[in-house]
Amino acid sequence: MANSITLIGAPVDSGKRRAGCLMGPDAYRTAGLDKALRDLGHEVTTGANLTPEAVALDAAPHLFGLAETVGWTRSLSAAAFAALQAASVPVFLGGDHSLSLGSVHGAARHAAQSGQPLFVLWLDAHSDFHTPQTTSSGNLHGTPMAYLTGQPGFDAFPAFEHPVPEANTCIIGLRSVDGPEHDMLTASGITYHDMRDIDENGIARPLSAFLDKVAQANGALHVSLDVDFLDPSVAPAVGTTVPGGATVREAHLVMEMVHDSGLMTSLDLVELNPMLDERGRTAQLMVDLAASAFGRRVFDRPTRSFL
Protein backbone atom coordinates (compact mmCIF):
# COMPACT_ATOMS: atom_id res chain seq x y z
CA MET A 1 0.00 0.00 0.00
CA ALA A 2 1.46 3.35 -1.04
CA ASN A 3 1.84 6.11 1.48
CA SER A 4 2.25 9.85 1.29
CA ILE A 5 5.49 10.53 3.15
CA THR A 6 6.93 13.91 4.13
CA LEU A 7 10.66 13.98 4.83
CA ILE A 8 11.39 16.72 7.35
CA GLY A 9 15.01 17.71 7.87
CA ALA A 10 15.59 18.48 11.54
CA PRO A 11 19.25 19.45 12.11
CA VAL A 12 18.79 19.65 15.87
CA ASP A 13 22.11 19.80 17.72
CA SER A 14 21.09 21.62 20.90
CA GLY A 15 20.08 18.59 22.97
CA LYS A 16 23.65 17.68 23.92
CA ARG A 17 27.14 19.11 23.96
CA ARG A 18 28.82 16.90 21.36
CA ALA A 19 28.27 18.54 17.98
CA GLY A 20 27.61 16.76 14.71
CA CYS A 21 23.96 15.67 14.57
CA LEU A 22 23.06 18.80 12.61
CA MET A 23 24.64 17.06 9.60
CA GLY A 24 22.29 14.10 9.92
CA PRO A 25 19.59 15.23 7.47
CA ASP A 26 22.09 15.69 4.64
CA ALA A 27 23.63 12.30 5.40
CA TYR A 28 20.22 10.62 5.03
CA ARG A 29 19.66 12.43 1.75
CA THR A 30 23.10 11.44 0.47
CA ALA A 31 22.42 7.82 1.47
CA GLY A 32 19.36 7.86 -0.77
CA LEU A 33 16.40 7.83 1.60
CA ASP A 34 14.17 9.68 -0.84
CA LYS A 35 14.91 7.21 -3.67
CA ALA A 36 14.56 4.17 -1.42
CA LEU A 37 11.04 5.21 -0.43
CA ARG A 38 10.03 6.22 -3.95
CA ASP A 39 11.26 2.87 -5.27
CA LEU A 40 8.75 1.24 -2.91
CA GLY A 41 5.96 3.14 -4.65
CA HIS A 42 5.43 5.87 -2.08
CA GLU A 43 4.75 9.51 -2.81
CA VAL A 44 7.57 11.41 -1.11
CA THR A 45 7.60 15.13 -0.38
CA THR A 46 10.90 16.73 0.52
CA GLY A 47 11.84 20.25 1.43
CA ALA A 48 14.41 22.46 3.08
CA ASN A 49 15.51 21.78 6.64
CA LEU A 50 13.47 23.26 9.45
CA THR A 51 14.84 26.01 11.65
CA PRO A 52 13.97 26.64 15.30
CA GLU A 53 11.65 29.42 16.32
CA ALA A 54 13.37 32.34 18.03
CA VAL A 55 12.81 32.04 21.77
CA ALA A 56 13.90 34.39 24.56
CA LEU A 57 14.36 32.69 27.91
CA ASP A 58 16.18 33.43 31.12
CA ALA A 59 19.44 31.50 31.37
CA ALA A 60 19.33 28.06 32.98
CA PRO A 61 22.97 27.35 33.79
CA HIS A 62 22.40 23.65 34.52
CA LEU A 63 20.75 23.02 31.13
CA PHE A 64 22.50 23.06 27.76
CA GLY A 65 20.79 24.76 24.82
CA LEU A 66 17.46 25.34 26.55
CA ALA A 67 16.16 28.28 24.48
CA GLU A 68 17.20 26.71 21.17
CA THR A 69 15.66 23.37 22.13
CA VAL A 70 12.38 25.05 23.07
CA GLY A 71 12.47 26.80 19.68
CA TRP A 72 13.02 23.49 17.93
CA THR A 73 10.16 21.93 19.89
CA ARG A 74 7.77 24.58 18.61
CA SER A 75 8.91 24.29 14.99
CA LEU A 76 8.89 20.49 14.98
CA SER A 77 5.47 20.26 16.61
CA ALA A 78 3.99 22.53 13.96
CA ALA A 79 5.64 20.52 11.16
CA ALA A 80 4.42 17.20 12.54
CA PHE A 81 0.87 18.48 12.93
CA ALA A 82 0.80 19.99 9.43
CA ALA A 83 2.04 16.77 7.76
CA LEU A 84 -0.42 14.61 9.65
CA GLN A 85 -3.27 16.99 8.87
CA ALA A 86 -2.38 16.54 5.20
CA ALA A 87 -2.69 12.73 5.63
CA SER A 88 1.06 12.27 5.17
CA VAL A 89 3.49 10.31 7.33
CA PRO A 90 6.16 12.70 8.65
CA VAL A 91 9.66 11.24 8.84
CA PHE A 92 12.00 13.41 10.89
CA LEU A 93 15.62 13.29 9.77
CA GLY A 94 17.58 14.14 12.88
CA GLY A 95 19.16 15.63 14.62
CA ASP A 96 19.57 14.57 18.24
CA HIS A 97 16.78 12.91 20.21
CA SER A 98 15.54 16.18 21.69
CA LEU A 99 13.73 16.59 18.35
CA SER A 100 11.16 14.11 19.69
CA LEU A 101 10.04 16.74 22.19
CA GLY A 102 8.48 18.45 19.17
CA SER A 103 7.61 15.57 16.85
CA VAL A 104 5.61 13.72 19.50
CA HIS A 105 4.01 16.96 20.71
CA GLY A 106 2.64 17.57 17.21
CA ALA A 107 1.62 13.94 16.74
CA ALA A 108 -0.24 13.97 20.06
CA ARG A 109 -2.08 17.12 19.10
CA HIS A 110 -3.17 15.56 15.81
CA ALA A 111 -4.19 12.27 17.43
CA ALA A 112 -6.33 14.10 19.98
CA GLN A 113 -8.02 16.10 17.24
CA SER A 114 -8.63 12.89 15.28
CA GLY A 115 -10.06 11.10 18.30
CA GLN A 116 -7.34 8.44 18.28
CA PRO A 117 -5.09 7.46 21.18
CA LEU A 118 -1.40 7.96 20.44
CA PHE A 119 1.11 5.21 21.20
CA VAL A 120 4.89 5.60 21.16
CA LEU A 121 7.49 2.93 20.36
CA TRP A 122 10.90 4.06 21.64
CA LEU A 123 13.83 2.11 20.16
CA ASP A 124 16.78 3.25 22.25
CA ALA A 125 19.58 2.19 24.56
CA HIS A 126 18.36 4.88 26.98
CA SER A 127 14.97 5.59 28.50
CA ASP A 128 15.30 9.39 28.05
CA PHE A 129 13.07 9.70 31.11
CA HIS A 130 14.85 12.58 32.83
CA THR A 131 13.20 15.91 33.54
CA PRO A 132 15.06 19.23 33.40
CA GLN A 133 15.37 18.93 37.19
CA THR A 134 16.73 15.36 37.36
CA THR A 135 19.26 15.45 34.53
CA SER A 136 22.80 15.64 35.87
CA SER A 137 24.32 16.22 32.42
CA GLY A 138 21.96 19.05 31.50
CA ASN A 139 21.51 17.47 28.06
CA LEU A 140 17.90 17.75 26.97
CA HIS A 141 18.08 14.84 24.52
CA GLY A 142 17.63 12.72 27.65
CA THR A 143 14.21 14.18 28.51
CA PRO A 144 11.66 13.50 25.72
CA MET A 145 9.99 10.47 27.31
CA ALA A 146 9.30 12.45 30.47
CA TYR A 147 7.91 15.38 28.49
CA LEU A 148 5.63 13.35 26.26
CA THR A 149 4.16 11.43 29.21
CA GLY A 150 3.32 14.66 31.02
CA GLN A 151 5.93 14.66 33.80
CA PRO A 152 6.35 17.99 35.65
CA GLY A 153 9.26 20.39 35.23
CA PHE A 154 8.96 21.46 31.59
CA ASP A 155 7.63 24.95 32.28
CA ALA A 156 9.76 26.56 29.55
CA PHE A 157 8.38 24.23 26.88
CA PRO A 158 5.03 24.36 25.09
CA ALA A 159 2.32 22.92 27.31
CA PHE A 160 1.75 19.26 26.50
CA GLU A 161 -2.02 19.40 26.41
CA HIS A 162 -2.45 15.80 25.27
CA PRO A 163 0.23 13.77 27.07
CA VAL A 164 0.71 10.17 26.01
CA PRO A 165 -0.45 7.79 28.76
CA GLU A 166 2.47 5.86 30.19
CA ALA A 167 0.63 2.64 29.38
CA ASN A 168 0.72 3.67 25.70
CA THR A 169 4.52 3.75 25.55
CA CYS A 170 7.03 0.96 25.01
CA ILE A 171 10.83 1.18 25.15
CA ILE A 172 12.84 -1.60 23.52
CA GLY A 173 16.63 -1.94 23.64
CA LEU A 174 17.44 -0.53 27.08
CA ARG A 175 20.94 -1.03 28.39
CA SER A 176 21.97 2.31 29.94
CA VAL A 177 19.68 3.73 32.63
CA ASP A 178 20.98 5.81 35.53
CA GLY A 179 19.66 5.88 39.09
CA PRO A 180 16.99 8.60 38.96
CA GLU A 181 15.67 7.29 35.64
CA HIS A 182 15.58 3.75 36.99
CA ASP A 183 13.50 4.82 39.97
CA MET A 184 11.09 6.82 37.81
CA LEU A 185 10.81 4.11 35.20
CA THR A 186 10.09 1.27 37.60
CA ALA A 187 7.41 3.38 39.31
CA SER A 188 5.80 4.26 35.96
CA GLY A 189 3.33 2.49 33.74
CA ILE A 190 5.76 2.42 30.81
CA THR A 191 6.43 -0.97 29.22
CA TYR A 192 10.15 -1.51 28.77
CA HIS A 193 12.40 -4.31 27.59
CA ASP A 194 16.14 -4.31 28.16
CA MET A 195 18.59 -6.28 26.06
CA ARG A 196 18.69 -9.18 28.54
CA ASP A 197 14.97 -9.56 28.01
CA ILE A 198 15.55 -9.50 24.24
CA ASP A 199 18.40 -12.02 24.53
CA GLU A 200 16.24 -14.41 26.57
CA ASN A 201 12.90 -14.04 24.81
CA GLY A 202 13.62 -12.57 21.39
CA ILE A 203 12.52 -9.22 20.04
CA ALA A 204 9.39 -10.30 18.17
CA ARG A 205 7.30 -11.34 21.17
CA PRO A 206 7.34 -8.07 23.16
CA LEU A 207 6.96 -5.98 20.01
CA SER A 208 4.05 -8.07 18.80
CA ALA A 209 2.30 -7.68 22.15
CA PHE A 210 2.67 -3.90 21.99
CA LEU A 211 1.51 -3.66 18.37
CA ASP A 212 -1.53 -5.79 19.24
CA LYS A 213 -2.33 -3.33 22.00
CA VAL A 214 -2.14 -0.40 19.57
CA ALA A 215 -4.34 -2.19 17.06
CA GLN A 216 -6.97 -3.12 19.65
CA ALA A 217 -7.23 0.55 20.66
CA ASN A 218 -7.37 1.72 17.03
CA GLY A 219 -4.37 3.85 17.93
CA ALA A 220 -1.89 5.93 15.99
CA LEU A 221 1.75 4.89 16.39
CA HIS A 222 4.78 7.16 16.59
CA VAL A 223 8.09 5.30 16.21
CA SER A 224 11.32 6.89 17.44
CA LEU A 225 14.46 5.10 16.24
CA ASP A 226 17.74 6.11 17.89
CA VAL A 227 20.99 5.02 16.26
CA ASP A 228 22.16 3.70 19.64
CA PHE A 229 19.35 1.13 19.61
CA LEU A 230 21.79 -0.70 17.33
CA ASP A 231 25.04 -2.25 18.43
CA PRO A 232 27.92 0.19 17.80
CA SER A 233 29.78 -2.52 15.86
CA VAL A 234 27.23 -2.05 13.05
CA ALA A 235 26.24 1.58 13.72
CA PRO A 236 29.21 3.58 15.06
CA ALA A 237 27.94 7.06 14.13
CA VAL A 238 26.45 8.05 17.47
CA GLY A 239 27.85 9.97 20.40
CA THR A 240 26.21 7.71 23.00
CA THR A 241 27.52 4.28 22.05
CA VAL A 242 26.55 1.43 24.38
CA PRO A 243 27.79 -2.09 23.57
CA GLY A 244 25.35 -4.94 23.33
CA GLY A 245 22.68 -3.39 21.14
CA ALA A 246 20.33 -4.80 18.54
CA THR A 247 21.75 -6.67 15.57
CA VAL A 248 21.04 -5.64 12.00
CA ARG A 249 18.60 -8.52 11.59
CA GLU A 250 16.78 -7.75 14.86
CA ALA A 251 16.40 -4.12 13.83
CA HIS A 252 15.05 -5.05 10.41
CA LEU A 253 12.60 -7.46 12.00
CA VAL A 254 11.29 -4.66 14.22
CA MET A 255 10.77 -2.33 11.28
CA GLU A 256 9.24 -5.05 9.12
CA MET A 257 6.78 -5.89 11.90
CA VAL A 258 5.92 -2.20 12.27
CA HIS A 259 5.18 -2.06 8.55
CA ASP A 260 3.12 -5.25 8.63
CA SER A 261 1.00 -3.80 11.43
CA GLY A 262 -0.05 -0.84 9.27
CA LEU A 263 -0.09 1.31 12.42
CA MET A 264 2.86 3.72 12.07
CA THR A 265 1.77 7.32 11.50
CA SER A 266 5.07 9.13 12.18
CA LEU A 267 8.77 8.27 12.48
CA ASP A 268 11.91 9.80 14.00
CA LEU A 269 15.42 8.88 12.81
CA VAL A 270 17.66 10.38 15.48
CA GLU A 271 21.18 10.74 16.86
CA LEU A 272 23.06 10.12 13.60
CA ASN A 273 26.39 11.94 13.86
CA PRO A 274 28.13 11.69 10.46
CA MET A 275 31.37 12.94 12.02
CA LEU A 276 31.62 9.55 13.74
CA ASP A 277 30.58 7.37 10.81
CA GLU A 278 32.69 4.96 8.77
CA ARG A 279 32.24 5.50 5.03
CA GLY A 280 28.58 6.34 5.60
CA ARG A 281 27.60 2.86 6.76
CA THR A 282 25.47 3.97 9.71
CA ALA A 283 23.53 6.42 7.55
CA GLN A 284 22.98 3.68 4.97
CA LEU A 285 21.80 1.22 7.60
CA MET A 286 19.32 3.74 9.00
CA VAL A 287 18.02 4.38 5.47
CA ASP A 288 17.59 0.63 4.98
CA LEU A 289 15.72 0.36 8.29
CA ALA A 290 13.41 3.20 7.29
CA ALA A 291 12.77 1.39 4.01
CA SER A 292 11.86 -1.74 5.96
CA ALA A 293 9.37 0.31 7.97
CA PHE A 294 7.72 1.30 4.69
CA GLY A 295 7.56 -2.11 3.10
CA ARG A 296 10.91 -3.29 1.82
CA ARG A 297 11.39 -7.01 2.46
CA VAL A 298 14.63 -8.86 3.07
CA PHE A 299 14.62 -10.35 -0.44
CA ASP A 300 14.08 -6.90 -1.95
CA ARG A 301 17.10 -5.38 -0.25
CA PRO A 302 19.80 -4.25 -2.66
CA THR A 303 23.30 -5.69 -2.45
CA ARG A 304 25.95 -2.99 -2.21
CA SER A 305 29.62 -3.08 -2.97
CA PHE A 306 31.97 -0.60 -1.34
CA LEU A 307 34.98 -1.77 -3.36
Report the catalytic residues: 97, 124, 126, 128, 141, 226, 228, 271
Residue 76's CB is within 10 A of a number of other CB atoms, namely: 30
Alpha-carbon torsion, ordered 168, 174, 179, 184, to 10 deg: 0
Q: Please say whether the beta carbons of 191 and 171 come within 8 A.
A: yes
Q: CB–CB of 156/57 below 8 Å?
A: yes
Rounded (10°) angle between helices 66-85 and 100-114: 40
What Cα–Cα distance (Å) separates residue 119 from each residue in 72, 97, 116, 210, 214? Answer: 22, 17, 10, 9, 7
Question: Number of helices (H) and strands (E), helices first, in the chain?
Answer: 10, 8
Q: Say how many residues make up the chain.
A: 307
Give dist(CA 22, CA 49) in Å, integer: 10
